[in-house]
Amino acid sequence: MHFDYIDYSHKYLEDILCIIRQGILQRQNTLSRKKREVLNTQSLVEAFNFIGLTGVVSKTLIGVQKEHEREDNKGKEDIYFYLNDDNYTCIFFAETKRLPKYQSKSEDEYIVGESSTGNPSGGIQRYKLGLHGNYNLRHNGIIAYIENKSVEEWFSIVNSRIANEYPNDSLLISTDFINEYISTHTYLSREGTFCMHHFWINLTKN
């Protein structure tokens, strides 16, 4: 499937997406909604890092780690992918979100939200504000752990909220891969657009 708005000049994008797909496939049966989100994410990151640094996907070695601390002290991304060069150059960021959010039966922070301290906590929202990601990287990711309802229900909920909150952004569009979607968004803090790559992991039976 071809999307005209994808920036195919992103040299490592397809390798990164392949690492994520393979890592999720490897760890799918070990992830559980009964575990804390950080433990599920740690398991995925371990798989991503092994795949990226063993050259299985690409001749370019790509490392993966948890919790990228930002120099501007405005938070940190849950997962970051980097080149195995002298600068450990970051090339992709990803957030993880529970659907629904912890201790809630229906709410989510996938698009917009507010933390207990009053700061923006929505997954897409923080990228749009420039609080996550990098303006030089126009591709970012969200990995969602679906803990109740069906994938189809959450697809409808998320797209409805995007339409209400950010009507100028695109809705999630299915790709050729199961439970994988793509969307485009405008920045709120500057001009330009970026792509979000969504990976949803169904944990309703785990």
pLDDT per residue as tens digits for the range 17-29 = 999 999 999 999 9
pLDDT tens digits, one per residue of 154-175: 999 999 999 999 999 999 999 9
Provide, rounded to the nearest whole percent, the portion of the chain with pLDDT above 90.
67
- Expressed in angstroms, the distance from the first to the final Cα of the chain is 31
The residues near 175 (Cβ < 8 Å, ≥ 6 apart) are 1, 181, 182
* Whole-angstrom distance, CA of residue 124 vs CA of residue 145: 16
pLDDT at 55 over 50: yes
What does the pLDDT look like over 79-126, one tens digit per residue? 999 998 888 888 999 999 999 876 655 567 899 988 878 888 899 999
**Is the predicted pLDDT of residue 59 greater than 90, yes or no?**
no
Burial state string for 96-113 with b = 16 or more CB within 10 A and e = fewer than 16 = bbbbbbeeeeeebbbbbb
Top-confidence range, 100-104, 189-193, 198-202: 198-202
Single-letter amino acid code for the residue at 81: F
| E strands present in 21-73 | 62-69
Task: Give the integer Cα–Cα distance in Å for 206 and 199.
Answer: 17
